[in-house]
Amino acid sequence: MKHENINYLVVGSFVLAVLAAFIVMVITLTGRGGDTDTYQVYYNNVAGIKYGTLVSYEGYQLGQVESVEPVQGDGKTRYLVTFTIQKDWKVPSDSIAQIVSSGLLGAIAINIREGKSDTPLQVGGTLKGLQGADLFSAVGGAAGDIKLLIADVRDFVSTLNAEAKIFGGVRKFVNTLNKETDIFKDVHKLLARLDNSAAGLESIMNQGNQENIGRIIENITRASKRLDKTLNDIDAVVNTSNTLVTDNRSELQRSIRHLSASLEVISTHASTIAHNLDGTSRNLNEFSRQIRENPGLLLGSTPPQDKTQKTAK
């Protein structure tokens, strides 16, 4: 009983130690291992920002997001993000809290870009927020603008084709053409929007993301080559197996015939073998019974005389 209690004590201590190590690891990773200072920042879009989102200072992990609250006013909605960082960390008052991503498909985080002011921001103050560039939103916006442009140009061309067929209605064609000049204004607006979208896309596709995409494509190419090599090796193994079977077909057939003959002999004498085994089993049972009744038989002695019969005589 004491041994079992010691085992329970050892196992329980080990579980508690592992649990304590896990709690310390979680506290270390979230940056909540000590006292913290609270700051705020406003964003127009908080996609990917939630409780526990990483907050860094020039890339150095410093804290995490505590809450995200919508604030409505002046006909639009903004989002107040409250976060905590390591206590007594000096943050210049002109620093900027930017939403960033560690890669093309990386997690969203808030990175504080250090300002040049000598005056630190007071605890609980509000930092200037800067939205991060969103590759998928930029691509989607550019695709929508191109679609609108194509639709407008198609309508304009259709109108020109219809009006060009009427040679007698030149004045009507000119009037219609004057009305269609509004399309060119829309085209200029669309081109301006496309320029903005292209600028956003260019800011996203920086050198780091381009290198990441290049490495992904290179890894896919290497994996494809390795797969091709593996398939070739499998084909070679299959061909070798077929060659071995073809070359040794006569030996395999001879071995199968011998095996069939052996099985037939065993099947023919199976009843005789079983009968002999049954007799042997009975003899062993009889021998075991006699040994139990008179162990002296193993030494060649005679059975002990029954004393009751001697007394009766």
- Residues 6+ positions from 130 with CB-CB distance below 8 Å: 96, 97, 98, 99, 113
Shared-domain flag, residues 118 and 169: no
Shared-domain flag, residues 125 and 159: no
Q: Domain containing 191: what range?
A: 136-204
Q: What tokens were used for 27?
A: 């506290």
Shared-domain flag, residues 68 and 142: no
Residue 94 placed within a domain: yes
* pLDDT tens figures, 12-64: 788 888 888 877 676 665 555 568 899 999 999 888 888 989 999 998 888 99
Q: Give the residue from 102, 101, 124 showing the smallest Cα distance to 38.
A: 124
| 105 vs 150 pLDDT, higher one | 150
* pLDDT tens figures, 1-19: 556 677 777 777 888 888 8
Residue 76 placed within a domain: yes
Helix (H) or strand (E) holding 188: helix 170-204
* pLDDT tens figures, 233-243: 888 888 887 78
Q: How many domains does the chain have?
A: 2
pLDDT, mean of residues 135-148:
59
Q: Tell me the average pLDDT of the chain.
A: 77
Q: Give the residue from 132, 101, 127 showing the smallest Cα distance to 38.
A: 127
- Residues 6+ positions from 280 with CB-CB distance below 8 Å: none
Residue 116 placed within a domain: yes
Which pTM was predicted?
0.37
pLDDT of residue 260: 81
Shared-domain flag, residues 76 and 145: no
Residue 99 placed within a domain: yes
Residue 16 placed within a domain: no
* pLDDT tens figures, 266-285: 778 777 877 788 888 888 88
Among the candidates 204, 238, 259, a domain finishes at 204
- State how far the Cα of 82 lies from the Cα of 207, in Å rounded to an integer: 32
Q: Give the residue from 176, 172, 171, 175 showing the smallest Cα distance to 158.
A: 176
* pLDDT tens figures, 77-108: 999 999 999 888 999 999 999 988 866 566 78
